[in-house]
């Protein structure tokens, strides 16, 4: 029988770092799963959507530490059996700057960061710098740095890269983060990385609060040609951040479904349904708490749910969610950047905003001092005091410049 630490993930860990620094390859080394399975991601050879993969960290009771740590049921060192310790979820976020909003969306549901920095390039690279800004922005202190691609550089270059990384993080929120050099294709030091993950502090979960889940996936599980009598409702996948959901619970999804048949119009209606099944990716559950990606089978018409149509929504018990709105007031807080000279927000300006797991375009309607009224292109469900990541168009490029606090 599975223990609670094995049945459901106890940590959500996001991989951050510059494009082509080996985030997806490292995730595969840790989980055995390619997280960029979306066809467009494969075609462009980069992660576009958040990729999720679970792994169970195990320990061989015969081998010494850290060699004892593995993700295999059979110890790769001695061939003996291994004991499962904990399950963790890894989120592979995109590194390309035009996809920064997706990385920010992932950061809203994570507990720790695996910061990937390649030894074969100068540190910091552009997205390495921007991802450190996300870490600072969200106050993420639980960080492990994986120094990748050490197998394609010599010893001196690897040491030079290490010194560059130390200088880069000096004086930041992660200056004491451990740096682990790894070779993903040969599984070198993966055991050390697993040991460092085990040493990360467990987040405190409020299991008695009204439950809240951020939706990061939604899809139709029916195969083409399925008989109408055998069709099942759509599935939403997401991360629970507080409380607990049980099979049979009546839930509400906000802002919900766009009921307008006209593409340029929006008429969002909250969706109310019953939880028909809960799944952690490998088995059904009667109850789910915070940790990992949880799938909820619903009674919603799969046509409304397919192809990630509900990504960015939030899920809670009926009547317990914040208001869905497309007009918000924020207090804008700038991030100090050496490479950007920016002024305050101005009326008529277009912004890209990361609200929970939703990425939405907003337009500044009115601004006074550091307070701005923003009209969003579509509704979001958000509570007062939440942080909203803000990207501005600087010299024809979307750049992370600050964050807003909902007033």
* Domain CATH number, residue 306: 2.40.30.10
Rounded CA-CA distance 122/149 in Å is 12
Residues 137 and 163 in one domain: yes
Surface-to-core class of residue 395, CB atoms within 10 Å of its CB (0-12 exposed, 13-18 middle, 19+ buried):
exposed
CB 108 within 8 A of CB 76: no
Token pair listed for 333: 């807080």
Note whether residue 247 is domain-resident: yes
CB 35 within 8 A of CB 47: yes
CB 216 within 8 A of CB 235: no
Residues 130 and 261 in one domain: no
pLDDT along the chain (407 residues), means of 10: 69 86 84 52 36 86 96 93 93 54 59 94 90 83 95 92 97 96 91 97 90 90 86 90 95 91 75 94 88 91 91 94 92 79 88 88 92 94 84 86 85
Tell me the CATH number at 57. Answer: 3.40.50.300
Residues 177 and 238 in one domain: no
Rounded CA-CA distance 25/185 in Å is 8
Residues 86 and 175 in one domain: yes
Note whether residue 203 is domain-resident: no
Note whether residue 58 is domain-resident: yes
Q: Which of 317, 335, 359 is the last residue of a domain?
A: 317
Note whether residue 15 is domain-resident: yes
* Residues 331/337/343/345 CA torsion (nearest 10 deg): -40
Note whether residue 139 is domain-resident: yes
Domain with 125, as residue range(s), is 4-198
Rounded CA-CA distance 7/56 in Å is 10
Note whether residue 310 is domain-resident: yes
Rounded CA-CA distance 271/253 in Å is 5
Rounded CA-CA distance 73/244 in Å is 30
CB 370 within 8 A of CB 403: no
Q: Which of 284, 317, 350 is the last residue of a domain?
A: 317
Residues 305 and 355 in one domain: no
The CA R_g of the chain, rounded to the nearest whole Å, is 22
- The number of folded domains in the chain is 3
Residues 331 and 276 in one domain: no
Q: Which of 198, 221, 245 is the last residue of a domain?
A: 198
Residues 38 and 172 in one domain: yes
Q: What pLDDT, on a 0 to 100 scale, did the predictor assign at position 158?
A: 95
Residues 174 and 308 in one domain: no
**Contact partners, residue 226, CB within 8 Å, separation at least 6:** none
Residues 123 and 156 in one domain: yes
Residues 251 and 378 in one domain: no
Residues 174 and 42 in one domain: yes
Q: What pLDDT, on a 0 to 100 scale, did the predictor assign at position 173?
A: 94
CB 153 within 8 A of CB 120: yes
SS (H, E, C) the chain: CCCHHHHCCCEEEEEEECCCCCHHHHHHHHHCCCCCCCHHHHHHCCCCCCEEEEEEEEEECCCCCCCCEECCCECCCCCCEEEEEEEEEEEECCCCHHHHHHHHHHHCCCCEEEEEEECCCCCCCHHHHHHHHHHHHCCCCCEEEEEECHHHCCHHHHHHHHHHHHHHHCCCCCCCCCEEECECCCCECHHHHHHHHHCCCCCCCCCCCCCEEEEEEEECCCCCCCCHHHCCCCEEEEEEEECCEECCCEEEEEEEEECCCCCCCCCEEEEEEECCEEECCCCEECEECCCCCEEEECCCCHHHHCCCCCCCCEEEECCCCCCEEEEEEEEEEECCCCCCCCCCCCCCCEEEEEECCEEEEEEEEEEECCEEEEEEEEEEECCCCCEEEEEEEECCEEEEEEEEEEC
Among 17, 10, 52, which residue's Cα sits nearest to residue 34? Answer: 52
Residues 24 and 136 in one domain: yes
Note whether residue 126 is domain-resident: yes
Among 101, 322, 309, 145, which residue's Cα sits nearest to residue 218? Answer: 309
Note whether residue 205 is domain-resident: no
């Amino acid at each position: 029988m599975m223990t609670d630490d094995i049945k459901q993930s106890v940590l959500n860990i996001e991989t951050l770092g510059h494009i082509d620094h080996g985030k997806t390859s490292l995730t595969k080394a840790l989980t055995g799963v390619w997280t960029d399975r979306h066809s467009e991601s494969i075609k462009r050879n980069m992660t576009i959507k958040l990729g999720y993969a679970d792994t169970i960290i195990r320990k061989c009771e015969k081998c010494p530490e850290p060699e004892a740590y593995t993700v295999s049921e059979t110890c790769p060192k001695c061939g003996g059996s291994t004991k499962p310790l904990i399950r963790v979820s890894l989120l592979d976020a995109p590194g390309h700057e035009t996809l920064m909003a997706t990385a920010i969306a992932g950061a809203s549901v994570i507990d720790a960061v695996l910061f990937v920095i390649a030894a074969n390039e100068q540190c910091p690279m552009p997205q390495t710098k921007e991802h450190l800004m996300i870490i600072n922005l969200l106050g993420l202190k639980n960080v492990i740095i994986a120094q990748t691609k050490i197998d394609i550089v010599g010893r001196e270059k690897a040491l030079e890269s290490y010194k560059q990384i130390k200088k880069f993080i000096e004086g930041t929120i992660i200056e004491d983060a451990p740096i682990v050099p790894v070779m993903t294709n040969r599984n070198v030091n993966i055991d050390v990385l697993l040991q460092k993950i085990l040493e990360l502090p467990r987040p405190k979960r409020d299991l008695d609060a009204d439950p809240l889940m951020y939706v990061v996936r939604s899809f139709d599980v029916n195969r083409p040609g399925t008989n109408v009598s055998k069709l099942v409702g759509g599935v939403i996948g997401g991360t629970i951040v507080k409380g607990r959901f049980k099979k049979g619970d009546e839930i509400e999804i906000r802002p919900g479904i766009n009921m307008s048949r006209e593409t340029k119009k929006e008429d969002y209606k909250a969706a109310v349904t019953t939880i028909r099944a809960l799944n952690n990716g490998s088995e059904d559950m009667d109850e789910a708490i915070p940790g990992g990606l949880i799938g909820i089978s619903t009674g919603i018409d799969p046509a409304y749910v397919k192809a990630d149509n509900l990504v960015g929504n939030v899920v809670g018990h009926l009547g317990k969610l914040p208001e869905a709105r497309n007009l918000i007031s924020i207090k804008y807080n700038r991030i100090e950047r050496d490479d950007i000279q920016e002024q305050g927000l101005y009326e008529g300006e277009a912004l890209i905003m990361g609200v929970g797991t939703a990425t939405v375009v907003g337009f500044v309607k009115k601004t006074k001092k550091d307070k701005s009224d923003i009209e969003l292109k579509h509704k979001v469900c958000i509570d007062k005091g939440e942080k909203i990541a803000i990207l501005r168009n600087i010299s024809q490029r979307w750049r992370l410049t600050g964050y807003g606090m909902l007033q």
